[in-house]
Amino acid sequence: MPACATQKKVDENVRGSNLILPVPDTDFRDFLDEVAELARVAPEIIGAIEKDLDRYARQKKSLRLTGTARSTGMFAATVPRLSH
């Protein structure tokens, strides 16, 4: 059964896919292929990335809970400062 996300039909037997639709053959697809190959060759990197993301999330949450996130500028790009 061919999938149709745009006007161009994509064959069922494409080289890889996401959960619903095939990933188009673009630079992003090449990036995903490289990441998949890296995960296959060095699976320990996935655990290291997850630990790093967890550490950063805990740090960000701690700053948010203590109210120091705004003063350190951690959320400067996402939360605008209100001027009085």
pLDDT in tens, 43-73: 999 899 999 999 999 999 998 888 765 665 6
pLDDT in tens, 20-42: 777 888 999 999 899 899 999 99
One-letter amino acid identity for 40?
R
Q: Where are the domains of the chain?
A: 27-72
- Cβ atoms of 69 and 62 within 8 Å: the answer is no
Q: Assign 1 a pLDDT band (cuts: 50, 70, 90).
A: very low
One-letter amino acid identity for 18?
N
